[in-house]
Amino acid sequence: MIHFTKMHGLGNDFMVVDGVTQNVYFSPEQIKRLADRNFGIGFDQLLLVEPPYDPDLDFHYRIFNADGSEVEQCGNGARCFARFVKSKGLIHKQKIKVSTSSGKMTLRLERDGSVTVNMGIPVLEPSKIPFNAKKAEKTYLLQADMPEGMQTFLCGAVSMGNPHCVLEVDDVANADVERIGALLTKHERFPKGVNVGFMQVVDANHIKLRVYERGAAETLACGSGACAAVVVGQLQGKLARRVRVDLPGGSLTINWEGEGKPLWMTGPAEHVYDGQIQQ
């Protein structure tokens, strides 16, 4: 049997598995089956906790999208990860150092139950996002072939460890997230695919956001997407350093002091249930 925990961060839901005390392997096909909301457990991402690769760190963890693809970063997952390792007694500290395939992160369990994550320094260099562009810009023109003809989108692009493109919209509730998101997530200028954010600026300290995630379609919240939107909005001169991000599943607080500085995300992480499956 494999023991797992179902968790969520603002409705972005996870199957979390302790791969420190259990010997586990999941093939992409297995992950797809388990992620299925009708025939499986149902989740946006699978988080697999592993021992650290570096004596400096407490854990390593791997992230898999619902389509079985392995990815580099997950903001909501990082908060759930911190709650998971603490509640399972795998660690007794409030400050946890972890790595994912995108690098190192520090997670801090707050007294009120929320978790603060140092998401690292946002990467704007196109080749490192990766995004096909000659040089870093605040806004790029992205052309896409839609059924109604060629359309041009204005977007910002940034890596938070994983690739994001952010479009500004007037009314996020009525944005065509499903259709535009599905098209841009596989845009040829993003060779590894991209998470597509639709951002409505309410004021300099407040945005509304929906995200069409690479490998998972639209989710109720995307933590790294919230960070990416604040980076893009700030670089475009529309946002302040501290921003409340309202996603369909709830709100996050993002703090960023600007280019070259690390970005901080604070928000909730909830336990749903513990379960077990036959391997």
Ligand X SMILES: N[C@@H](CCC[C@H](N)C(=O)O)C(=O)O
Q: Which residues are designated catalytic?
A: 74, 222
Of residues 174-213, which lie at the interface with ligand X (CB under 6 A)?
195, 213
CB of 135 to ligand X, least distance (A): 24
Which of residues 132 and 204 has its CB atom nearest to ligand X in the complex?
132
Q: Which of 210, 214, 220, 248 binds ligand X (CB under 6 A)?
A: 214
- Per CB under 6 A, the list member of 5, 12, 99, 100 interacting with ligand X is 12
**Which contiguous run of DSSP H or E holds residue 181?**
helix 177-184
Task: Identify whether the C-beta of residue 91 lies closer than 8 Å to the C-beta of residue 82.
Answer: no
Please classify residue 152 by burial: count the beta carbons closer than 10 Å to its beta carbon, then call 0-12 exposed, 13-18 middle and 19+ buried: exposed
18 or 44: CB nearest ligand X: 44
Our finding on whether 162 is near ligand X (CB under 6 A) is yes
Sequence-distant (≥ 6) Cβ neighbours of residue 145 within 8 angstroms = 151
Q: Which residues make beta-bridge pairs with 151? A: 144
**Least distance from ligand X to the Cβ atom of residue 150, Å:** 26
Residues 58-97 touching ligand X, rule: CB under 6 A, are 65, 71, 74-77
Burial (CB < 10 A; 0-12, 13-18, 19+), residue 174, is exposed
Interface with ligand X (CB under 6 A), residue from 223, 233, 248, 267: 223
Question: Reduced to 3 states, what is the DSSP secondary structure of residue 157?
Answer: strand
- What is the smallest separation between the CB atom of 195 and ligand X, expressed in angstroms? 5
> Can residue 156 be called a binding residue for ligand X (CB under 6 A)?
no
Q: How far is residue 33's CA from residue 84's CA, in Å, rounded to a whole number?
A: 23
Distance of closest approach, residue 214 Cβ to ligand X, in angstroms: 4
Binding-site member from 68, 120, 122, 215 for ligand X (CB under 6 A): 215
| Residue 97: closest CA among 107, 88, 89, 87 | 107
Residues near ligand X, by CB under 6 A: 12, 44-45, 65, 71, 74-77, 162, 195, 213-216, 219, 222-224
